Amino acid sequence: DIVMTQSPDSLAVSLGERATINCKSSQSVLYSSTNYNYLAWYQQKPGQPPKLLIYWASTRESGVPDRFSGSGSGTDFTLTISSLQAEDVAVYYCQQYYSTVTFGGGTKVEIK
Amino acid sequence: EVQVVESGGGLVKPGGSLRLSCAASGFTFGGYSMNWVRQAPGKGLEWVSFISSSGNYIYYADSVKGRFTVSRDNAKNSLSLQMNSLRAEDTAVYYCARGQHCSGDSCLLDYWGQGTLVTVSS
């Protein structure tokens, strides 16, 4: 199975500042025939199910604020929150769907 | 509005059985693969099972293979997970999630239910 490693485990960011979360896969999740990266990001607030934010590594799900962006290709990916809002406090997970689904361990984002 | 609602969780003794259900609405259920994902208390997400739109293709995580059985009834817009020989390590919130852009057993999970808690304890 593909191992997904997220960093950091947690981070505290001031309101309005940038938050950056990294995700590394143990093998490439770029499908050469489609040139798509099979990588998604989810947000999970306390007591709630995960919510899809980003798929194909950089495509924002409908309704997701544009302060959320995804980048990267192959094995290295980043989720960026450009200007942290109070409602963004959550745990964020990356997931690969290139082969049998696996998730990163999660990154907890808090307000500094 | 797309909705998936899980039910059937509860407290069960080690070695016991439980059947979870997921009721879907707001989309053409028979046109989508479905998945079960679980989350142990305070832990991360673990994919459990996949079933294709027709039910012809089924996959399980190694951790549940041989003990869990997934099924669906497209006429009733429902998904089930029969869990046998339960262990303490199966304690988790179980989520039903709709699959998109699936390749083999692997999907993007675009809609999730609120989950149902399964506790395995004596």
pLDDT tens by residue, B64-90: 999 999 999 999 999 999 999 999 999
Q: In percent, how much of chain B has pLDDT > 70?
A: 100
Cα separation, B94 vs B12, in Å, equals 14
Element (H, E) at B46: strand B45-51
Nearest chain A residue to B41 by CA: give it. A47
> Strand A107-111 relative to strand A10-13: parallel, antiparallel, unpaired?
parallel
In contact, A10 and A89? CB cutoff 8 Å: no
Task: Look up tokens 């009733």; give the residue.
Answer: B76
- Chain B contacts of A97, Cβ < 8 Å? 101-103, 106-108
> What confidence category does residue A24 fall into, taking pLDDT thresholds of 50, 70 and 90?
very high
pLDDT above 90: residue B104: no
User: Rounded mean pLDDT of chain B?
Assistant: 97
Nearest to B44 among A51, A101, A103 (CB): A103
Question: How many other CB atoms are there within 10 angstroms of residue B102's CB atom?
Answer: 19
Closest CA to B34 of B117, B100, B118, B83: B100
pLDDT above 90: residue B12: yes
- In this structure, what is the dihedral angle of CA atoms A56, A61, A62, A63, given to the nearest 10 degrees? -150
Shortest Cα–Cα distance, B106 to chain A (Å): 5
In the predicted model, what is the mean pLDDT of residues A2-31?
Answer: 97
Shortest Cα–Cα distance, B45 to chain A (Å): 6
pLDDT above 90: residue A82: yes
> Strand B45-51 relative to strand B34-39: parallel, antiparallel, unpaired?
antiparallel
Shortest Cα–Cα distance, A61 to chain B (Å): 9
Residue A91: which residues within 8 A CB-CB, separation 6 or more? A43, A44, A106, A107, A108, A109
pLDDT above 90: residue B103: no
Residue to substitute from B37, B101, B106, B114, interface A, most A β-carbons within 10 A: B106
Residue-level pLDDT at B83: 98
pLDDT above 90: residue B33: yes
